[in-house]
Amino acid sequence: MSKSTSGLWTPALLISLAAAGSILSLSMGLRQSLGLFMEPMVRGAGLTVATFGFAMALQNLAWGIGQPFMGAICDRFGGRLVVAGAAVLYCGGLAIMASGSPFGLYLGGGLLIGLAVAATSHGVLVGIISRLASSEIRATAVSILAAVGSLGTFVVAPATQAMIERWNWQAALSGLSILAASMAAMAILFRHGNAQARTGPGTPPPDARRAISQALGNRTFIITTLAFFACGFQLIFIATHLPNFIALCGLPPSVGASALGLIGICNAFGTLLAGYLCQRLGNGLVLALIYLLRTLAIALFFALPVSAETTLVFAAAMGFLWLSVVPPVSGVINDVFGPANFGALFGIMFLSHQVGAFLGAWLGGLSYQISGSYSIGWLSLIAVGIGATLLQLSACRDRPRYQASP
């Protein structure tokens, strides 16, 4: 940290960054560990793979639809109330999911957890940090948040698998619900995460409707939003179906848990590197490169024989690229529109991501139910990834227009 920027890391920013990182870490760790419950719930509760896949698809759709509203509320009123309320929803959703019925899975694991994640993930938390951080350190602060937020999976996924094996899947869900409730206490630490912080003198107050109208007429925003579909489609297919896929290949459940944990730890390094590259190569080019490398990793994993070694190497590669999209995507929004309406604009962009996530989780389970194989799903990930790479490359010539107030 240079002397010229060290004074910009205010106590309010550092405290809020620590709280946001902890909340994001727990939220993502809990959510990305839910795929570990597919096999025991199919075996123990009589559910089908398609039922579980549809519940996870519903979760992602609820997350996507709720994100613009959660982001807009946070833009105007701050994050404490939004995140605390979401922690209660998260806790309740996990408890209802433990009923083991299809309705409980759809309501708890689908709708309630989806809405809870919308308020405890990047759309709200990156917005809080973006408004607290000055433009000189904003990209670095967002990269740190995304990197720290990825570490939860490294801890929560193996711990979840251990609870399932030591007790049962119902008790494991009860344990996770206690972790979810702890996010409410962390939200109290937020400092000035509202619309008036660090947006600059003379900046107009948040106006979600006007900002969204302007964004929908911006070419860079539209292209980035469309390409973001592939991110959700690829990642949620993997998070939901990878544990079951490798179990079908004869590997023990511990490999699936280790793979999800490895995704979390490698993600921290990949996200920090992405933030560094964005400042040198530009947000659009970094996004295109991420989509390309993800698709190549998926293609290689699908083509090679599945073993514990290839699975862990694949997980490490995907982890390195997992949340690395957050710095360039948030950079596009902040560079073009500024931070005042970040939550609402990220929410609109993220809706495309979650439509992709809905289809990735649902069609993955449906294709397996119909064909008895995940081959159609893996081939779809490759095709969608190629399309996103080409689409994002077409926006690399665009230049940002927003100028921060001095």
What are 364-375's pLDDT values in tens digits? Answer: 888 888 888 889
The pLDDT of residue 73: 86
Nearest Cα to Cα of residue 114 among 102, 130, 97, 126: 97
Nearest Cα to Cα of residue 342 among 134, 149, 199: 199
pLDDT band at 205 (very low <50, low <70, confident <90, very high): low
Residue 304 backbone dihedrals phi, psi, to 5 degrees? -90, 155
Residue 387 has pLDDT above 80, yes or no: yes
What confidence tens digit (pLDDT) does each residue in 90-143 have? 999 999 999 989 999 999 999 999 999 999 998 889 888 888 888 788 878 888
DSSP state of 201: T
Q: Are 361 and 377 in contact (CB under 8 A)?
A: no
Residue 335 has pLDDT above 90, yes or no: no
Domain boundaries along the sequence of the chain: 15-393
The pLDDT of residue 227: 93
The pLDDT of residue 404: 44
**Picking from 158-162, 178-182, 215-219, 252-256, which range would have the lowest pLDDT averaged per residue?**
252-256
- For residues 102 and 107, give the distance between their C-alpha atoms in angstroms, rounded to a whole number: 9
Q: Which CATH class is domain 15-393?
A: mainly alpha
What confidence tens digit (pLDDT) does each residue in 288-332 have? 999 999 999 999 999 999 999 999 999 999 988 987 888 899 888
The angle that helices 326-337 and 342-371 make with each other, rounded to 10 degrees, is 140
The pLDDT of residue 44: 84
Of all residues in the chain, what percent carry a pLDDT higher than 90? 36
Nearest Cα to Cα of residue 24 among 93, 87, 111, 76: 87
Alpha carbon 2 to its chain centroid, in Å, reads 31
Residue 17 has pLDDT above 90, yes or no: yes
Q: How far is CA 27 from CA 14, 21, 115, 364, in A?
A: 20, 10, 12, 23
Q: Are 55 and 106 in contact (CB under 8 A)?
A: yes
Residue 256 has pLDDT above 80, yes or no: no
Average the pLDDT over 215-223 and give the result: 91
The pLDDT of residue 23: 95
The pLDDT of residue 3: 54
Residue 211 has pLDDT above 70, yes or no: yes
- For residues 62 and 110, give the distance between their C-alpha atoms in angstroms, rounded to a whole number: 7
Average the pLDDT over 360-386 and give the result: 89
Share the mean pLDDT of the chain.
85
Nearest Cα to Cα of residue 359 among 48, 52, 58: 58
What confidence tens digit (pLDDT) does each residue in 23-78 have? 999 998 898 889 889 889 988 888 888 888 889 888 988 988 898 889 888 888 87
Instruction: Give the pair of three-digit tokens for residue 248.
Output: 């079908």
The pLDDT of residue 173: 94
Single-letter amino acid code for the residue at 71: G
Q: Are 102 and 4 in contact (CB under 8 A)?
A: no
- For residues 146 and 132, give the distance between their C-alpha atoms in angstroms, rounded to a whole number: 16
Average the pLDDT over 235-241 and give the result: 85
- For residues 271 and 285, give the distance between their C-alpha atoms in angstroms, rounded to a whole number: 15
Element (H, E) at 386: helix 375-393
Q: Are 202 and 303 in contact (CB under 8 A)?
A: no
The pLDDT of residue 35: 84
